[in-house]
Each structure stands twice: as C-alpha cells, then as structure tokens.
Amino acid sequence: MAIDRRKQVVEAAAQSFSLFGYKATTMDQVAKLANVGKGTIYTFFDNKEELFDEIMNSLIQEMKRVAEAEYDPAGSFFDNLNRVFGRILDFREKHQLAVKMAHEVRDIGTPKALEGLNRLESAILSYIQIKVQAAIDKGELKRCDPEVTAFVMLKLYLALASEWQTAHEPLEKEKITELFQLYLLRGLANE
C-alpha cells in the first residue's frame, strides 16, 4: 500500500504546532518530521496558514465530539450545560495545541494564533447557542436572545473558571457549578 503523505504532513504539522506554536513551526521542520520533501507539503496546502487552518478545524471537530458525547438529551439544560462546560474547559486545558496557542498569544501576540483561538471560541458559542435555543423551545429557559445568552454564559464561565484565579485561589468545580446556578439560573433577587 502506498504511504499516505498527506496524513504524514498533517500529523507532523499538528505535532509541531502543538509543541512549538505557530510562529516557531517552520515548513522545513514539518517536512523533515513528516519524512517528506518540502515541495510535497505545497501539493496539499497552498501555504502555512492553510495547513494550520486544517489542524485548527480538526481540533474544533474533536472538541465538538467530546462535548456531544457528554450531552444527555434526556437531562436538564443546566445539568448538561455544567457537564459540557466542564468537559470543554478540561479539554482546553489539556489539549496541547489550545494551550500553546493561548501562551503564544499572551507572550508574543502571533495574529494567526489569536485568530485560531477566536475560531475556537466562535465554535463554542454557536454550540451553546443551539442548546440554549432548544432549552427555550422546551420551556426550560425564559425567552431571551440565544446569541447574547450564549455569550453571557461563556463569559461568566470563563470569569469563574479562569479569570478569578489570577487574583484568588481557584474555585472548585462544584463551587463553580453552584455559583453558575445561583447567578444565572435562579437569580440574585430575594423573592
């Protein structure tokens, strides 16, 4: 059987982007890692950006699968939301590529790495938005703009799960779930 050079290239590139980031990954390096002439890469991808986009897309797809696996159509919206959010955050923290991109943006502000993370965030947002819409239709949630609501949910989750840590002890996962429930679901007003 003929060896699949495209796959070799994609795997080598994924490894290198995860390990060294966007900027520090060179096409020569990818070619060497993939045991392939550099020209071969350019028969599959027009340029470095397209190669990176393909790899970002797989990451997003994988994340969707991970989230979807956690989703229980019979369960309540907030149960699902909490489990799926937990999964997504774990995933983001664990997945080398996502971690590396975040560091690269913070440290040297590579525009392409920023764009990649934005694509990731957009994908998460539209995923949540669909689930919010479904919950509204089922009558589990009050009527509201699903886009703004998804946005607020993500921001709140990120605020509690990551921004809070920059100046305080991290909140435990159960604590986050509880706060999320209090603030967004039940509301703060007495009576």
Residues that bind its own copies (CB under 8 A): 78, 139-142, 144, 148-149, 151-152, 155-156, 159-160, 163-164, 171, 179, 182-190
Look up residue 162 and give its two tokens: 């990551």
- Cα angle 66-20-12, degrees, rounded to a multiple of 5: 70
Q: Which of residues 27-66 bind DNA (CB under 7 A)?
A: 27-28, 31, 35-40, 42-43, 46-49
Question: Residue 159 binds which entry of DNA, its own copies, none, with Cβ cut-offs from 5 to 8 Å by kind?
Answer: its own copies
Q: What is the DSSP letter of 111?
A: H
Question: Residue 74 binds which entry of DNA, its own copies, none, with Cβ cut-offs from 5 to 8 Å by kind?
Answer: none
Closest separation in Å from C-beta 167 to its own copies: 8
80 is an interface residue for DNA by CB under 7 A: no
What is the C-alpha to C-alpha distance for residues 170 and 184, in angstroms, rounded to an integer? 20
1 is an interface residue for DNA by CB under 7 A: no
Identity at 77, one-letter amino acid code: F
Question: Residue 60 binds which entry of DNA, its own copies, none, with Cβ cut-offs from 5 to 8 Å by kind?
Answer: none
Owner of token pair 């509301």:
187
Q: Which of 14, 21, 25, 105 forms a contact with DNA (CB under 7 A)?
A: 25
Give the HSE-up count for residue 16: Cα atoms under 13 Å, Cβ half-sphere.
22
Residue 69's alpha-carbon distances to 49, 64, 153, 155, in angstroms, are 30, 8, 20, 23
112 is an interface residue for DNA by CB under 7 A: no
What is the C-alpha to C-alpha distance for residues 41 and 177, in angstroms, rounded to an integer? 45
Given the complex with its own copies, which of 12 and 135 has the nearer CB atom? 135
